[in-house]
Structure 1
Amino acid sequence: MVSIERGQLVIQPASGKPVPPEWIAANRTGLCREALMAVGMDAFEYIGYSTGHYGKSRVAGVTLQFVSVLSGQSVYAVFNADLTRQRTTAAGKAGALLPKGQFRVGKRSHFYKFWLSTGLPFPRRLAAMHDYMGKLRSVVVTGSVTDDRFKVGSLAPVSLTAEQFRAAVLPDNIRTISGQAPDNSRTKVPDKETATAQESCGLQPNQTTGVANHGNKVIRMCGNKTLSNTPQETHRAPEDQSVDEWLSHYDSA
């Protein structure tokens, strides 16, 4: 069973054995792309993030960069975030800027809600969220995009059930056609070959000939015995003769 749950590819082998993580990492994008193309859905992979102050008001935030699985289009999402220290510590005073790449978010923020929807683990402290950002690489997301920018409230992980995934990658009509083609071939070819063989050896007997004689004649004609009134150089097995040669020999017998 293969599905996409909370944006992550999930494979449950029939053997019950776990799938090697390195195999999933190497094949995740290809499998997701095939299924998404079949159902007509685009999705985006996370490729990185940055922090900064944006707009005329210089509002602090964190920008997540994504790329389309299908087209390669680059899009981004900007979430409000705090880039300053909350309290004074040995590393710095309260209100001072955090080191590059670090940020803080609250539990009511859009970023927190988005992360919660992915099912990914949270750090023990939200201030350490920057250490967990790499985990987003295993998640494919979707959402409303305008001018290469996600509407943050619409950003959500992709979900595709095992039934939807199976129907997308292996449609029922393809499985039926591919399964029936060999059956049709096997049915038609032997029947034609059998009919041809019977027509060659099953010519109507002369009604004035006895049953025993007729039987012997058929056996001789269908076997490899030579014909007494046929030149020696043309004595060949029936399967090596052309149709005209075979009928000629039959008539002469």
Structure 2
Amino acid sequence: MECLATKLLSRGDAVSIERGQLVIQPASGKPVPPDWISTNRARLCREALISLGMDAFEYTDYSTGHYGKTRSAGITLRFVSLVNGESVYAVFNADLTRQRNTAAAKAGALLPKGQFRIGKRSHFYKFWMGTGLPFPRRLSAMHDYMGKLRCVMLTGLLTDDRINAGSLAPISLTAEQFRKAILPDKFRTISGQLPDNFRTRAPDKENATAHAVRGLQPISTTCVSNHENKLIRKDEYKTASITDLPIPKPPQEQSVDEWLEAYSST
């Protein structure tokens, strides 16, 4: 499949990732339909990440429980890699008991399944603040807001399949950094560094081996089609219906020009 990011940049569009969310500023000045961004977000970001030899994670779900020998209460967030589809997780401390007496139960009793309490000094509170997502009016209702994490791409220090919770943060990539990742030949004479918030695995020998196995090493091409460990999910490349296309092709059979027709004609 053709490189969608290359096509956008060749048109003069500016593409960046801000606080874990894809931002496109078209050269035409037309607003990009939110559905188009939602449909193509993973593909565009994957193309840049693979070129940089990096990874990022999408939130899938969470659970609460008591962990370790001390049975400490906490919340487990689960993610999937944008690059290779592998599952990873992060664990934050949280309180799973009621703070006050209520008609339903007394203080100290376990909260209903899936509910949890956090404080403003907790790692989870700081993590959520970093995403820029809204907080509920009461922190005890945080469980109702967890689905909002699905729109934020995250990165963090990964050891085996666990992300260090203190390092978990949204990815940010400026338009210039994104362009350098996709069109490196145009920036060979310009030195640059990756943004500080890109984190990879812990720098030891075992993790270096795992790094190579997972296909996160730098590669010479900028298109996902040439990467051996690419992931194409079943429903990832659906496009919005276009009234002037009587017989739309399946997404996997469309060229980049056909993809962009939905974007440009809206």
TM-score, with length taken from structure 1: 0.66
From 19, 44, 48, the counterpart of 1:6: 19
Asked if residue 29 in structure 1 is aligned to residue 42 in structure 2, the reply is: yes
Q: For 1:84-233, what aligned pairs fall within 5 Å after superposition?
A: 84-173=97-186
* Partner Cα distance (1:105, 1:135) in 2: 17
Q: Could you say which structure has the greater relative contact order, defined with CA pairs below 8 angstroms and 6 or more residues apart? A: 2
* Partner Cα distance (2:23, 2:103) in 1: 44
* Partner Cα distance (2:170, 2:71) in 1: 29
The two structures, once aligned, show a CA RMSD in angstroms of: 1.5
Cα deviation for residue 108 of structure 1 reads: 0.7
Aligned to 2:263: none
* Partner Cα distance (1:18, 1:104) in 2: 39
Larger CA Rg, structure 1 vs 2: 1
Asked if residue 45 in structure 1 is aligned to residue 58 in structure 2, the reply is: yes
* Partner Cα distance (1:88, 1:95) in 2: 8
Structure 1: which 5+ residue stretches go unaligned?
175-253
Structure 2: which 5+ residue stretches go unaligned?
1-13, 188-266
Asked if residue 76 in structure 1 is aligned to residue 85 in structure 2, the reply is: no
* Partner Cα distance (1:97, 1:173) in 2: 58
How many residue pairs end up in the alignment?
A: 174
Aligned to 1:192: none
Question: Which one-letter code corresponds to 1:14 in the other structure?
Answer: A
Aligned to 1:212: none
Cα deviation for residue 17 of structure 1 reads: 3.5
Cα deviation for residue 172 of structure 1 reads: 4.6
SS in 2 for 1:107: coil
Runs of 4+ residues over 6 Å off in structure 1: none
Asked if residue 60 in structure 1 is aligned to residue 73 in structure 2, the reply is: yes
Aligned to 1:20: 33
SS in 2 for 1:101: coil
Note if contact 2:47-2:182 (Cα within 8 Å) is conserved in structure 1: yes
Question: Which one-letter code corresponds to 2:109 in the other structure?
Answer: A
* Partner Cα distance (2:142, 2:44) in 1: 29
SS in 1 for 2:84: coil
